[in-house]
Amino acid sequence: MVKRWTLILMSLALSAGLLAALPVSAAPSEKSRPTSYILPGDQVFPEGVAYQPSTGNFYVSSTTDGTIFRGDLDHAMTQVFLPGGVDGRTTAVGLKVDHKNKGRLFIAGGGLGKVFVYNTADGKLLASFSNNVTPTFINDVAIAPDGSAYFTDSLSPFLYRVKPMGSSGFTFETWLDFTGTALVYQPGFNVNGIVATSNGKYLVVVQSNTGKLFRIDTRTKSVVEVTLDGAPVTNGDGIWLYGHSLYVMRNSDAQLVKIKLADTFDSGKILTSVTDPSFAFPTTLAQARDRFLVVNSQFNKRGPPPMPVLPFSVSSVPVF
């Protein structure tokens, strides 16, 4: 009997060793994820992207008519979620889904001077606001831990805030005037991409025309330039923050730059930059699990010729 159990135990041990030696395959959904997502339409010229972890869906905006597309990570084709022109949304730029997964989609309205808030579950408009500012281009949005959405204006020196008020809806305000601060507006496109730190203490923005980064204290509203070890990130568009790693998309350069920020977020060092053959005047990015979704705007091919290469797309590239 002892000999028999010894043989059984040896057999089990050998089987376990063989199983341990076998390679572990990626989950099917991760392994088969597309490397590019298609946006239907021949005049989309997309700009913004937002990922919703709770559903696996992502959203992409059209600057041409304000259409919002929705896709999921496992399928290459996206579909129209919010038709263009509805609710006065004739263009759409930056967008984010609130970080607490309450299903609220915040949209920057570009030259309309408007912001929109929608329910991702049913597409219902929850709120819309106008800034009544000229000139204006409400460009990008970041969601802070308290649910507040901060919007940049690339043509006028303001930051706007949409704050949730529970059952009372939302409030809108011109939260910060950059006049007299370290961030000086100049001719051209100024403040563009924006992110919030995980503790909500700071916002970080990129000024496209100068390539400078700035840190904004959400309590005191003080603005300081981020001292950057390396060349400025001129043409910086959308940005993404993961811990202390800041990713800056340089649109006309088709480069994604990785910067390591200090614990205080007031200095940083450029670590590397990458590009991809699929990038076509990329504007912004969002992290979806282990990959970045990168929007290929083709703004440099709005026509007359050269014309855009169809279909419009969103690239999926590894996080680095």
Return the pLDDT at 100.
Answer: 75
Residue 17 φ then ψ, to 5°: -65, -40
Closest CA to 69 of 55, 54, 53, 58: 58
Residue 216 resides in a domain: yes
pLDDT band at 292 (very low <50, low <70, confident <90, very high): very high
Express each pLDDT in 175-204 by its tens digit: 999 999 999 999 999 999 999 999 999 999
Whether 120 shows a pLDDT value over 80: the answer reads yes
The DSSP string of 144-195 is: -TTS-EEEEESSSSEEEEEEE-GGG-EEEEEEEE-TTSS----SS--EEEEE
What is the domain count for the chain?
1
Whether 299 shows a pLDDT value over 80: the answer reads yes
Neighbour-count burial of 209, counting CB atoms closer than 10 A to its CB (0-12 exposed, 13-18 middle, 19+ buried) = middle
pLDDT band at 99 (very low <50, low <70, confident <90, very high): confident
Closest CA to 272 of 290, 286, 254, 260: 260
**What is the average per-residue pLDDT within 111-135?**
98
**What is the average per-residue pLDDT within 233-261?**
98
Return the pLDDT at 97.
Answer: 97
Whether 111 shows a pLDDT value over 90: the answer reads yes
Domain containing residue 252: CATH number:
2.120.10.30
Return the pLDDT at 22.
Answer: 34
Return the pLDDT at 24.
Answer: 34
Residue 187 resides in a domain: yes
Return the pLDDT at 304.
Answer: 86
Residue 11 resides in a domain: no
Return the pLDDT at 6.
Answer: 39
Residue 5 resides in a domain: no
Residue 188 resides in a domain: yes
Return the pLDDT at 30.
Answer: 59
Residue 59 resides in a domain: yes
Residue-number span of the structural domain to which 81 is assigned = 33-318
Residue 127 resides in a domain: yes
pLDDT band at 303 (very low <50, low <70, confident <90, very high): confident
Q: What is the mean pLDDT of the chain?
A: 91
Cα Rg, the chain, nearest whole Å: 22
Q: Quote the CA–CA distance of 172 and 229 in Å, as a whole number.
A: 36
pLDDT band at 18 (very low <50, low <70, confident <90, very high): very low
Return the pLDDT at 96.
Answer: 98
Return the pLDDT at 230.
Answer: 87
Return the pLDDT at 203.
Answer: 99
**What is the average per-residue pLDDT within 25-39?**
73
Closest CA to 318 of 73, 28, 35: 35
Residue 9 resides in a domain: no
Per-residue tokens: 176:
């910060």
Return the pLDDT at 207.
Answer: 98
